[in-house]
Amino acid sequence: MRVNIRRPPKNPERKQRVTVEIEPHDVWSLDWTLAQIIHPGLIMLKQQKNGAPWVDPEDVPEELRPTPEELANYEEDLRTDELWFDRFDYVLDEMIWAFDLIKQDVNIFSRSDSERVDNALRLFGKYYRSLWW
């Protein structure tokens, strides 16, 4: 696989140049191939992010969930609480952990690891459109 994504042009009327070449062997284990790109991308996003999206309380452990009062404050005027960014960090950390395992081509998971990977991939799909800074 070869991927070349050029910097966005300064002139907004010009298109950004993107070339992608996929070879037959790249799809033998496409999950592994994509993890080679996704894993370091998620790490860099976590290091350089400038914000965080809404994270559903059920997607994080109890200790990171907002209180009913904090939820009401957010619904009323988009006021965030002190754990707002910690919730997205938790989601990113779960994704990073799972894609690292996939990248290493680790096929033997305990039941709990398998469930954790499945949940992290669910989170990746759910928050995919929030993976920008």
pLDDT for 105: 85
**Contact by Cβ (8 Å): 133, 51:** yes
Q: What is the mean pLDDT of residues 47-75?
A: 96
Residue 100's closest CA among 89, 116, 86?
Answer: 116
Q: What is the mean pLDDT of the chain?
A: 93
d(CA 8, CA 29): 31
d(CA 119, CA 60): 11
pTM: 0.89
pLDDT tens sequence across 79-127 = 999 999 999 999 999 999 999 999 998 776 788 899 999 999 999 999 9
**Contact by Cβ (8 Å): 83, 64:** yes
